[in-house]
Structure formats: C-alpha cells, structure tokens
A and B are shown apart, each in its own frame.
Chain A
Amino acid sequence: MGRLNGKTAVILGASDERSMGYATARRFIEEGANVIIAARRKDAVEALAGKLGAEGVACDITSEAELEALAAHAVKTFGTLDIAVNYAGIEVSAPILDVTAEDLRRSSDVHFVGATLFIKQMARVMAAGGSIMTASSLTILVQAPGQAAYAGAKGGADVVVRIAANELGEKGIRVNSIAPGFTRSAMTEAYFEMEAVRRAFLKEMPLGRFPTVEDVAEVALWLGSDEAFVTGQRIDVTAGQALRRVPLASEYV
C-alpha cells in the first residue's frame, strides 16, 4: 500500500533528470500517486514525463493563466488535485552594490509572485483539502552573499506560505515550504564542479554530506501524505547547515 495511493499531485519545476522535481515525481509515483509534472520547456517536460510514465504539461510560473490551466489539467485528467509542489526557480546572484531592479523583478516574478499565484491557483481547485508546498532555501536561514534578489523573494514567499496556511486551513489545505541546503541539481551543477566550493560548504554541514534531491523528495512525500498535521511551516533539509553558516566567496575563490 503506497503512502500516496489515490492522490493526484502536480509538480512544477521538473525540467531535468537531476532536479528536485524529477526526484519527487519518481518518489510520488512509487508511493502510488497520479503525477503531473510541469516545466517551462514543453519538449523537456514531455520527454521526462515519458520516462516516468507521468503526464507532462508545459507551464511557466510567471503566467497565472498557465498555472490556472495546469491545475485545471490535473482535475480534468484525474478528477482531483490533492498535492501541489513548486520547485520552479532561477538563479539570480548579484552583490547588493550591483543588484539591479531587473534582477529583483526577475527573481520576484518567479520566487515571490509566481510562488504566491501557484499557491492560489492550486488551492482554488483543491475541493477536498490538500497539501501545497513551495521551495524555500537555506539562504533565508543563514545569510549568503549575493543573494539579495534570490533570498529576498524566497523569504517573501515563506511569509505568504504562513498567511496562506492560516487562511486555507479551514478548507483542509495545508501549506508549507521546504528549504533545501546546498544540493546538487542542474541549477547548482557549476558550483559542485568546483572542489573548493564543495569543501567550503561541506565543513559547515554537521551531517557531513550534501543534501540530495532524494532527501528533498522524502520531505515532500511526508508533507504530501496524510501523516503530517503540519501547516505554515518551513522544513529544513540543509544537513544542519542552518545551524552554522554559508561560507563567504573569499573562502573558495
């Protein structure tokens, strides 16, 4: 008996086999869920969906109409939407002295406005309650240089998570975020290529290894299941790095 038997899940941000979205989709399918994966690029998401035996839908988180269509697709295909996970993210990094309005808007469109409208559109079709998750970040818990645009927007989304949880609780909808630490994925691959970066980060992780996309998927599974009487929370998967610090660039450049 799978832990998500009979549930339908939408996972946004599954554009690559190394992604948290893909790992989560795979885990959800193992536990018996109907899964729809979504990402911006139609060809990529359809290819991945084919591999998983899932549905694949093109969806750009910066378009509310596309988010609405994604939720509607889930309901039309499987009759219900029970779980929605948002991992859509872009890398935006600039020191505070150089950050531009364009950087801030680009990050906000995805990580703040996008995440908020994702919660809104998914919640609107969750007729029988459900569980919504959005990706937070280690960079909200401990300061990381150059992350004003990225962490600023993600931090705003975490506040929205609590507000949404408070408002949607009476509909039986739980809303939480997951804060991964420095995790190897398509987005971070370039950093992981640099041995000095890996070493500088690893020494700040009490558990002595990097979080993996599979670790993140396990948290999503727990929050998605009926086993989590938890709402309005941020769940940390940082290997304990939130207890320590993010290294400065001068430590690895």
Chain B
Amino acid sequence: MGRLEGKRALIVGAAGTGNMGQVIARRFATEGAKVAVAGRHMDVLQALAGEIGGVAVECDFTQRDSIFAMVEESMARLGGIDVSVNATGWGLLKPFLETSDEDMDRMYALQLRGPFQWMQALIPVMEKQGGGSIIQISSATATIMFHDHSAYMATKAGTDHMIRTVANEFGPAGIRANSVSPGVTETPMTAEAGAVPGLLDAFKKGYPLGRYGTSEDIAAGCVFLASDECFMTGENLQVNGGLRLRGNPTKTDIEASVATAMSAEG
C-alpha cells in the first residue's frame, strides 16, 4: 500500500528529462498517486506520463492563462487535485550589477508571479474538495548566500513568505502549504556547473552529511508533506544534508578550487 494511494497530484516543472519534477512525479506514482505532469515540452511530458500511467498537461508557468488552464485540465483529467508541487525554476547565475531588467522580469514571472497564480488557481479547487497539500520547491539560497544569484534568491525567498500567508489564510479550508529547500542537487539545471572540474568540490565542505542532495531526497520530503501523515503547514523543510548549518563557498573559494583542479588536470 503506497503512502499516496488515492491522491491526485499535479507536478509542475516536469518537462526536463531527469529533472527534479520528473523524479518527484515518478516517486509519487510509485506511492500510488495518480499524477499529472506539466511543463512546456509535451513530447517529454507524454513520455513520462506514459511510463507512470499519468497524464501530460502543457503549461508555460510565466503565463497566467496557461497556469489556470493547466489546473483546470488537470482537475478534469484527474477528477480533482489533492497535491500540487511546483518544481519550476530558472537557475540564473549573473552578477548583481549585470542583471538586466529583462532578467528580473523573467525571473519575477517564473519564480514569484507564477507561484502566486498557481496557488490562486489551486486554492478554490482544493477548498471545494475540503483541503489539499501545496508544495513549493524553494532553495537553501532563500536563506543562505550564494554569489551572482540574487534575482533567483530574492524570488525564492519571496515565494517562501507567500507560502506562509497561504498556510495562514487557507488552513481553515484544510489546505496545508509548505516549501522544500534543496541545496546543490545533481539535476540537469546544475549539470553544466557540475562539468567544470573542481567546481562541485568547493561545495562539498558545506555538507555535514558529506554528500550533495539528490532529487530522490527532495521527492522523499515531498511524499511526507503530501501524505495524510503530515500535520505541518507554513513551514520550510531544509532537505539539504545540513548545508544551512555551514553555507555555500564564496566566489574566491570556488575559483581557487577550479584553478587547482585545472592545474592538476594540466
């Protein structure tokens, strides 16, 4: 008997092969949930939906109409939505002074306005059903520092606070809202950085448990938050092996680590 048996779950941000949203969707399906996977690339989504017996729904998370249409279609095809996870994100790395208005607008649309509208669309559905669980994928960097990441970090922090307001205001309707903060996680979003020799090594000392997180770790946190076992709301779960206790390396640390690795490769 799966821990999410009978649940209907909408996972947004599952259109990248092997990304966090996909891993969460697979785990939810394993636990017995009926899953809708959403994102921008229907071919990828359909392949995943086929594998896990779910449904694929197209969504551009920067567009209000697209978000509302996604929720409506998921409702219709799943027969309701008990859980929704937002795993969309744009890991922009750009110096503060070089971040353009276009960067800010795009970041705002995806990482702050998108989550707001996603919850505006979901809450009436969940209220009518008598409750639900909303799970936002946040980031350790919503509280700890990382250089050249300000637009991303500011919107993640804003969305965490938005989650608290939703928990406070819609708790009486049986809706729980929480976020999960990964640290460095091996995903397609971080693959490019991971390919630079020495780069990831600089991060390792920030992890008391001695390894980076995986998308499976995040999925396990999401299963707990999604299940009826969980009586938490308005919380931010730090699923990152204790990274928050130590913090990320500085830019200087990283450059030194990369330089050492490069010279060793010679």
Contacts and interface: CB of A to CB of B under 8 A. Distances in A.
Interface of A: 162, 165-170, 172, 174, 205-208, 211-212, 215, 218-219, 221-222, 227-233, 235-237, 239-240, 242-244
A169 B223 CA distance: 24
Nearest to B211: A229
Contacts, number: 113
Interface-central residue, B167, B213, B224, B237, by most chain A CB under 10 Å: B224
A80 B20 CA distance: 35
Contacts of A231: 208-209, 241-242, 245
A5 B255 CA distance: 45
Contact of B231 (A211, A227, A232): A211
A169 B241 contact: yes
Contact of A243 (B167, B207, B223): B167
Contacts of A242: 234-235
B245 A162 contact: yes
B239 A228 contact: yes
Contacts of B235: 235-236, 242
B217 A229 contact: yes
A174 B209 contact: yes
A214 to B, nearest CB: 9
A218 B220 contact: no
Contacts of B214: 229
A234 to B, nearest CB: 10
A244 B165 CA distance: 11
B229 A222 contact: yes
A218 B224 CA distance: 9
A33 B174 CA distance: 32
A179 to B, nearest CB: 10
22 contacts: A162-B245, A166-B208, A166-B242, A166-B245, A169-B207, A206-B167, A206-B171, A207-B171, A207-B174, A208-B174, A222-B229, A228-B224, A229-B221, A229-B239, A230-B237, A230-B240, A232-B208, A235-B232, A235-B237, A237-B231, A239-B233, A244-B168
B208 A169 contact: yes
A236 B176 CA distance: 13
A239 B231 contact: yes
A229 B220 contact: yes
A207 B224 CA distance: 17
Contacts of B239: 228-230
B147 interface: no
Nearest to A162: B245
B176 A207 contact: yes
B208 A205 contact: no
Nearest to B173: A208
Interface of B: 164, 167-172, 174, 176, 207-210, 213-214, 217, 220-221, 223-224, 229-235, 237-242, 244-246
A235 B178 CA distance: 12
Contacts of A236: 232, 234-235
Give the top 8 A-B pairs by smallest Cβ distance, nearest first.
A169-B208, A206-B171, A229-B217, A215-B231, A231-B242, A218-B229, A227-B220, A240-B233
A228 B217 CA distance: 7
A244 B170 CA distance: 13
Contacts of B217: 229
Contacts of A222: 224, 229-230
A229 B240 contact: yes
Nearest to B244: A232
Contacts of A174: 209, 242
Given A218-B230, A222-B229, A229-B240, A166 B168 contact: no
Given A165-B242, A243-B168, 4 more contacts: A208-B174, A227-B223, A230-B221, A236-B232
A230 B222 CA distance: 13
Nearest to A129: B209
A206 B209 contact: no
A205 B176 CA distance: 12
